[in-house]
Amino acid sequence: MIGSAVELWRYPASSFGGERQATLSVGEDGAFGDRLFGLVEEATGEPARPDREARWHKVPLVRARLSEAGTLEIALPGADWMPAPSTESDAALSAFMGFSVALRPFGPDAAPGFAGPLTEPRYRKAPLHVLTTASLARLKALHPAAVPDPRRFRPSVLVEMDAVEGHFPETEWIGRRIAIGEVELTISEPCRRCAFTIIAQDGFDHDAEILRTLVRNNGHNIGVYCTVDRPGRIETGDRARLL
């Protein structure tokens, strides 16, 4: 036993704020409802790149969730939830961003009946991303002024475990297998970090030293990507164990 699942997340719209879950349904391709939509510049179709362009830095401030019916809803800061994608949601997002943008599904199954153009994910996502509180504690020890909020790193599963002095422990588990709840995973690769980790979100400020610390001390990495060996459900509080 190494700990327990203390937070579960899915991200219905890429780069938007995530949706915390009590239970995560995991298939071979990852968590149900994860990364179904993407934001693009309307004129060019280019996807949002908060990690590379400052004009996209507001995107993580917009929250995304799936309704009980499985349809997307978004909420701008201080505003109510609205259905998306739609003409109204695109207009609201464009006003918030300061230039014309559009929210588009990655595939036809994400938004049945959607008549507009689709878009492509800008990267091939790993099925599941696991992060430990021990690695967040290590980051804090190396950069005491940091706010190592899990939302900076967008895990699917945050595993609570005791700190391991001098180590980002899951980075050392590459090739091993882990069970969390009903789900069994193979830890396939470290999660190499980009400038998304330094962007301000609700509750914490811009912090470039976050990424510099990871570059200097863990080869750009924090957290791990996993492939799914046995699908199933993970519930908050489920035990995590190395196999």
Q: Given phi > 0 = left and psi -120 to 50 = alpha, else beta, which region is 214?
A: alpha
Would you say residue 115 lies in a domain?
A: no
Tokens 């609201």 -> residue: 92
Same-domain status, 152 and 178: yes
Residues 44, 100 contacting (CB under 8 angstroms): no
Pair 100, 186 in one domain: no
- The confidence score (pLDDT) of residue 121 equals 83
**Shared domain check, 132 and 100:** no
Residue 210, number of CB atoms within 10 A of its CB: 25
Q: How many domains is the chain built from?
A: 2
Which of the four pLDDT bands, split at 50, 70 and 90, describes residue 6? very high
* 103 closest CA partner among 47, 39, 14, 15: 39
Sign (positive or negative) of CA dihedral 174, 175, 176, 182:
positive
In a domain, residue 120? The reply is no
CATH of the domain at 183: 2.40.33.20
Domain of 152, in residue numbers: 3-10+20-30+125-242
Residue 119 in domain: no
Residues 92 and 156 in one domain: no
Q: What is the rounded CA–CA span in Å between residue 149 and residue 201?
A: 10
N-to-C CA span, the chain: 9
Contacts of 224 (CB under 8 A, 6+ apart): 129, 130, 131, 170, 171, 173, 174, 187, 188, 189, 190, 191
Tokens of 221: 């990495």
Co-location of 99 and 214 in the same domain? no
Boundary residue ending a domain (83, 110, 137) = 110
The reply to whether 194 falls in a domain is: yes
Which pLDDT tens digit goes with each residue over 26-60?
A: 999 999 999 999 999 999 999 999 999 999 999 99
Task: Select from 51, 85, 110 the last residue of a domain.
Answer: 110
- Torsion on CA atoms 161, 7, 203, 189, rounded to nearest 10: 70
Same-domain status, 26 and 138: yes
Instruction: Give the model's pLDDT for residue 122.
Output: 75
Q: Residue 194: pLDDT band by 50, 70, 90 thresholds?
A: very high
Domain match, 25 and 44 both: no
Pairing between strand 128-132 and 157-160? parallel
Has residue 117 been placed in a domain?
A: no
Q: How far is CA 186 from CA 29, 104, 167, 197, 228, in A?
A: 13, 31, 20, 25, 7
pLDDT at 181 over 80: yes
Does one domain contain both 159 and 228?
A: yes
- 118 lies in some domain: no
Angle (CA) 7-11-15 rounded to 5° is 120
Q: What is the mean pLDDT of residues 89-93?
A: 98
Compute the 3-state secondary structure of the chain and give helix, strand, coil in percent, each to the nearest 5: 20, 35, 45
Q: For all residues of the chain together, what is the average pLDDT?
A: 95
Helix (H) or strand (E) holding 8: strand 3-10
Structural domain contains residue 229 = yes
Residues 89 and 133 in one domain: no
Number of separate helices (H) and strands (E) present in the chain: 3, 16
- Judge if 210 and 133 occupy the same domain: yes
